[in-house]
Amino acid sequence: MSIEFITLDYEDDIALIGLNRPDKRNAISDRFVASIDKAVQEVQQHAKVGIFYGHGSHFSAGLDLSEISHKSHFENIQGSRAWHAAFDRIQRGGIPFVSALHGAVVGGGLELAASTHVRVADETAFFAMPEGQRGIFVGGGGSVRIARLMSEARLTDLMLTGRVLNAEEGERANLVQYLVQPGHALAKAKELAASIASHAPMSNYAVTNVLPRIQDMAQDDGLFVESLAAAFTDTSPEARARLDDFLAKRAAPLRGS
């Protein structure tokens, strides 16, 4: 299947979604959002894990700034809601996603990364939310997802001051979970994706769909929903088989890295 601005490859159970508009630093236009959404819906049918990465020297320069000034209020809302719909299908869809980040991870590019479940950056990555410099506001879910990752205080700082975080600062601010040498983010993402793909799909589904929803609940409701999710997950045939393996000493032991 050919999708505009996207390369799509499969390696075993893993789908590799490449952002492929390098001449514009993978700036995300309305058509590009639609392509991301199409790719996400496609890979959820065929893969156990998806990886986002960027072609060229940057992950993504964010929103395509050439489109926005021509839009009416209403078109702008519709555009933002299309980002929300696409990114929600990443965050709370059928399979987990990993992002492999390098170069600019900026504005809407960081919003895309924030909708994935595990983020790996190489040391060339840098993070910024330059909406203030451009006279605009976030519209791709950043006020919720990025604020939750790094805290509202840190996001406010980035947006008000135009601060740019280097890769190490991004890791310290909880924007990424793994930091690797330049050029190694995709390899590390594949290694992590293989591990995720080896786990029970129902467990992965509970992590990606139940966990974020519980964060929106009052404590008592969250604990109750946790018990319900555990009841479904723990009694699945796959859980029984994996628990039997452990009790029969057939399971691989846990090892620290």
Characterize 51-70 residue by residue with b for buried, 16 or more Cβ atoms within 10 angstroms of its Cβ, and e for exposed.
Answer: bbbbebebbbbbbbbebbee
Q: How far is the CB of 178 from ligand 1HE (least distance, A)?
A: 22
Q: Which is nearer to ligand 1HE, 24 or 199 (CB)?
A: 24
How far is residue 23 CA from its own chain's centroid?
Answer: 23
Region of 56-64, 156-164, 202-210, 246-254 interacting with ligand 1HE (CB under 6 A): 56-64
Binding status of residue 32 toward ligand 1HE by CB under 6 A: no
**Residue closest to 106 by CA, chosen among 47, 37, 25, 220:** 25
Binding status of residue 81 toward ligand 1HE by CB under 6 A: no
Binding status of residue 66 toward ligand 1HE by CB under 6 A: yes
Beta bridge partners of 165: 127
Binding status of residue 102 toward ligand 1HE by CB under 6 A: no
Dist CA 128 CA 108 (whole Å): 10
Binding status of residue 18 toward ligand 1HE by CB under 6 A: no
Binding status of residue 25 toward ligand 1HE by CB under 6 A: yes
Q: Which is nearer to ligand 1HE, 59 or 97 (CB)?
A: 59
Binding status of residue 170 toward ligand 1HE by CB under 6 A: no
Q: Which is nearer to ligand 1HE, 22 or 244 (CB)?
A: 22
Dist CA 107 CA 134 (whole Å): 11
Binding status of residue 106 toward ligand 1HE by CB under 6 A: yes
Binding status of residue 104 toward ligand 1HE by CB under 6 A: yes
Contacting residues toward ligand 1HE, per CB under 6 A: 24-25, 27, 57-58, 61-66, 83, 104, 106-108, 130-131, 134, 136, 138-140
